[in-house]
Amino acid sequence: MGDDMEVDDAPLSPQQEQEEGAPAASGGTNSSKVAAMQTHTKATAVRSIEGWIVMVTNVHEEADEEAIQDKFGEFGEIKNLHLNLDRRSGYVKGYALIEYPTLEEARAAIDGAHETKLLDQTIQVDFAFVRPPPGKTGGGGRAGTGGGGGGRNGPGNRNRGGRSRSRSPVGRDD
Amino acid sequence: MSAANEPFYLRYYSGHSGRFGHEFLEFDFRVLGDGRSATARYANNSNYRNDSLIRKEMCVSSLVIDEIKRIIKDSEIMKEDDEKWPTKNKDGKQELEIRLGNDHISFETAKIGSINDVTDSADPEGLRVFYYLVQDLKALVFSLIALHFKIKPI
């Protein structure tokens, strides 16, 4: 699997090199691995707790788990599959989330299935989770949101006890 | 596919204050700078049986954001108006705020217990759009969290 992996030859932009040097990359991240972690829009994928999550969109409304398994099982072992339904129609909503244990399998699925047909519809396939761009570590409260409701920002509601959000799991890149 | 640099922001809140204090669920998606990614935040506070506040933050790819935008556009929620929707009450309220391109909505309504509340309202068609969109968005958020953090929301 992974042998015929397509590696993007595009040179890294200064910003991406910066990202690679970020503390999140715990040692040994070579350039081919960085390329393997790149999304179609040149963001850098991150590993989730138990594997790599791949998003599939434009999934046919009559697709079922077997159809997803048939197409994506050839790239690796599918550890988890979420194929959510439209709450109104009961048909498939149009996306699937697939968990692969390794980066190689996820990369193979993205390279092998992106812009291919599934039940006559051209699907898009990419990593679901990425690293935050440098210098933007989320947070920032609710700046810029208008119309927030009265009352709920009252005493003791937000930021209670100063607990911070847990961040995306980082560190492992296998 | 939608333009990556199109402004996009989504926030949903559902909560109430009662016997167990302020209990709520909230999530938002905010596109970062160049549109290559977006931060997603999730918070859930239930004081029932001494459960505590759960907060999660993750960064999702542009394909995930494109899909959320697609779901919002297909729902046609941006054409709705909350003027005739049931107002918040002792059971709490829901808020939905979306900025998508040049459109912006900020809706507030009561919690909806079942589809009957929708059917019996003064604007069943509009409220139905809201009711199902919220369920579809929650399903996506819960899947993302379950897969990324291996926890079961709610």
| B-interface mutation test, from A122, A129, A137, most B Cβ less than 10 A away | A129
Question: Domain range spanning residue B111?
Answer: 6-147
Number of residues in chain B: 154
Of A146-155, B101-110, B134-143, the range with the lowest mean pLDDT is A146-155
Q: Which residues contact A104 (CB under 8 A, 6 or more apart)?
A: A1, A2, A5, A36, A76
In the prediction, which pLDDT does A102 show?
A: 97
- Write the pLDDT tens digit of every residue in B54-112: 999 999 999 999 999 999 999 999 999 999 999 999 999 999 999 999 999 999 999 99
Q: Is residue B22 part of a domain?
A: yes
Q: Which CATH number goes with the domain that contains B38?
A: 3.30.1560.10
The stretch A144-157 carries a mean pLDDT of 37
Establish, for the pair of chains A and B, how many residue pairs have beta carbons separated by less than 8 Å: 158
Q: Is residue B110 part of a domain?
A: yes
ipTM of the complex in this document? 0.92
Is A37 a residue whose pLDDT tops 70? yes
In the prediction, which pLDDT does A97 show?
A: 98
Q: Is residue B154 part of a domain?
A: no
Dig out the tokens for B37 from the structure. 């990614």
Determine whether the interchain pair B67/A95 forms a contact, defined as Cβ–Cβ distance below 8 Å: yes
Q: Is residue B102 part of a domain?
A: yes
Residue A148: pLDDT band with limits 50, 70, 90: very low
Q: Is residue B72 part of a domain?
A: yes
Q: Is residue B1 part of a domain?
A: no
CB contact B125 to A (< 8 Å):
no
* Spatial separation of the C-alpha atoms in residues B154 and B51, rounded to whole Å: 10
Q: Give contacts of B 48-77 with A, CB under 8 A.
A: 53, 55-64, 66-67, 70-71
Residue B102 C-alpha, separation from nearest chain A C-alpha, in angstroms: 15
**Helix or strand run (H / E) with residue B118:** helix B115-119
Is B30 a residue whose pLDDT tops 70? yes
Is A43 a residue whose pLDDT tops 50? yes
- The reported pTM is 0.80
Is B32 a residue whose pLDDT tops 90? no
The stretch B106-121 carries a mean pLDDT of 96
Share of chain B above pLDDT 70, in %: 94
Is A74 a residue whose pLDDT tops 50? yes
| Minimum CA–CA partner of A42 in chain B | B36
- Which residue among B34, B43, B148 sits closest to A49, beta carbon to beta carbon? B148
Contacts of B96 in chain A (CB under 8 A): none
The stretch B15-38 carries a mean pLDDT of 91
Number of structural domains found in chain B: 1
Of A88-102, A159-173, B29-43, B110-124, the range with the lowest mean pLDDT is A159-173
| Minimum CA–CA partner of B67 in chain A | A57
Determine whether the interchain pair A43/B67 forms a contact, defined as Cβ–Cβ distance below 8 Å: no
Classify residue A90 by burial, with Cβ atoms within 10 Å: 0-12, 13-18, 19+: exposed
Q: Is residue B123 part of a domain?
A: yes
| Minimum CA–CA partner of B104 in chain A | A146
Task: Decide if A168 contacts A46 (C-beta within 8 A).
Answer: yes
Dig out the tokens for B113 from the structure. 């217990």
Token pair 């069943």 is at which residue? Answer: B124
Q: Is residue B153 part of a domain?
A: no
* Spatial separation of the C-alpha atoms in residues A154 and A97, rounded to whole Å: 37
| Minimum CA–CA partner of B135 in chain A | A87
Residue B19: pLDDT band with limits 50, 70, 90: confident
Determine whether the interchain pair A41/B22 forms a contact, defined as Cβ–Cβ distance below 8 Å: no
